[in-house]
Structure 1
């Protein structure tokens, strides 16, 4: 499985991407890494790691998309590492892409170069969280779409269910709609209309769930718009860091004896559950290719895990299953047509119309 890795995207430098790629290739011999970026800088990092040459190919890209680049600037950098890596994916010279670069650029260029899967109206970003019962839950959208319509959220639920089935190995994943209450009539126009679509579908929809239920283990898929989802994602990352810091400070009082040993083992387990590096990156669902976006501040461990995630994604042929599942979702077609014909109202903005 050939994984194109954007070596220029991480805030911590090229070396982080190189080390992560080496770890992934060493851990899984089925992974064939292709590093994309400034060849001179990549080879310099190989020398720093005392390697005569890297065990995988390097494709040169002369430009880098910066985190603060505008959308137009990103699109105009034709030879950026993100653009070149996506070209490899489009030309079937790679099976997946991993980038820790500008999220907006990865999404925009993915749509431009790869296009959407058949039937998909809006691609979305999916994040995986641990649950209190030792399981996992996928939350989507976590940032790709600020303004959504009911059928967008319906499709997120379909894509999330496929992801939970193929990656989390849940035979019939339970779907919850994130809301301010569990009653059917709770929420705004978006959530009440989405509730109707989900209720009448063949998905395993269990109803509305509140924020406190996301990691409760009650569901495997949580659906919301990207505005809400991104806030949850950023808060979760911040809360995880705060929790780990509080635990570290408290553990200083139990450094010796049996209490210290238990504390160290417990902290190690907690860090594994809460550290975003363990999850690597978030997949961009709905584009015609496998794209995993890692955190800009990713460590080599996070890059390694993002590469592993992209390998699992590609191996599971999730995109073909998404297309198949959407083609069977005929119950929303009339709703899509009706909604497309009426774009008035406070909820829907011209910015979000496509």
Structure 2
């Protein structure tokens, strides 16, 4: 059962509802979290037969907006869609929570309601990045913690190592730090301190990597603070979009098979960026990009349903 924050995201609630509705048509059971009468009215408008699909509704009267301060609003808005969504995981009514809303609020709510894993001070967002070889590279943290300590980066590496072993099937994942050069001396004060912690650990730490190394499959895991990771992710997304736009423009008068290949690439990249896991909490929480459309929401629901089977 998937709990969906209907009110979270730049294009909420409509794009979220459309994505969830489409996913439910493939027999995936879904709980839509938000104002119940509004959700019922919109579902009826979108599809008069919506009640024939495996959809439930959990009422939530409040919304935590994208620009709201996370901690205060999670504590004050106990009837918000984010809080109610996480509570469904806590009580076992849902096994996965998915939100494109305020990522800080999702992290705070998950930490407070579900609790953090042992020896983890800060949960982190981990996502799979594409590589030239076709292998997926796990990146952590992609935005949950903009200000970090070196021990947090070490904990992120521990989380990613366990995740890679359990879910990706890599027995001894190669772990690297994102830096501005491969040399041991490269990086900020933060990454240099984290470098020493990782070097002294039992993890399969291979040193520093630059962005180009990540996409050339030189590591299985790349560790960074949330500020750098979020910029890495958004730069990748923007670069892909720009490249696809320029290529399509050049080929607009060319043969259709080439355009079809662009569409296939776009679909693969959309699947890769359909959502990221919040690691370090005692439950399955997926955070989607704030600008996720119905396609991304639908893909996230399908991907993570299959992933956690």
What TM-score results when the alignment is normalised by the length of structure 1?
0.80
User: For the Cα contact (< 8 Å) 1:279–1:305, is it kept in 2?
Assistant: no
> Which residue of structure 1 aligns with residue 276 of structure 2?
282
Matches of 1:199 and 1:145, distance apart in 2: 22
Select 2:288's aligned residue among 287, 294, 316: 294
Secondary structure at the aligned position of 2:43 is classed as helix
Judged with a 3 Å threshold, the aligned counterparts in structure 2 of structure 1 residues 180 and 148 are, in CA distance, closer, same or farther, namely: same
CA deviation map 1:133-176 (0-9, x unaligned):
11111111111112222221111112112223333333332111
Verify: 1:7 aligned to 2:9, yes or no. Answer: no
Matches of 2:204 and 2:84, distance apart in 1: 40
Verify: 1:270 aligned to 2:265, yes or no. Answer: yes
> Which residue of structure 2 aligns with residue 19 of structure 1?
18
Within 5 Å, which residues of 2 pair with 1:337-348?
Answer: none
CA deviation map 1:274-305 (0-9, x unaligned):
33x55321111101111101122212221122
Q: CA deviation at 1:17?
A: 2.3
User: For the Cα contact (< 8 Å) 2:64–2:81, is it kept in 1?
Assistant: yes
Q: Quick check: which has more Rg, 1 or 2?
A: 1
Aligned residues: 306
Secondary structure at the aligned position of 1:128 is classed as strand
Matches of 1:20 and 1:165, distance apart in 2: 31
User: For the Cα contact (< 8 Å) 2:89–2:97, is it kept in 1?
Assistant: yes
Segments of structure 2 that go 5 or more residues without pairing to the other structure are: none
Judged with a 3 Å threshold, the aligned counterparts in structure 2 of structure 1 residues 219 and 303 are, in CA distance, closer, same or farther, namely: same
What TM-score results when the alignment is normalised by the length of structure 2?
0.91
CA deviation map 1:208-267 (0-9, x unaligned):
11122121111110011111111111211211221111112111131xxxxx13312321
Matches of 2:299 and 2:208, distance apart in 1: 32
Segments of structure 1 that go 5 or more residues without pairing to the other structure are: 255-259, 316-354
Q: CA deviation at 1:269?
A: 2.5
Q: CA deviation at 1:309?
A: 4.0
Cα RMSD, aligned residues only: 2.0
Q: CA deviation at 1:68?
A: 2.0
CA deviation map 1:175-221 (0-9, x unaligned):
11111221223223322222222223222222211122121111110
Matches of 2:146 and 2:169, distance apart in 1: 29
Matches of 1:205 and 1:58, distance apart in 2: 45
User: For the Cα contact (< 8 Å) 1:281–1:309, is it kept in 2?
Assistant: no
Matches of 2:160 and 2:147, distance apart in 1: 18
Matches of 2:193 and 2:146, distance apart in 1: 17
> Which residue of structure 2 aligns with residue 70 of structure 1?
69
> Which residue of structure 2 aligns with residue 50 of structure 1?
48
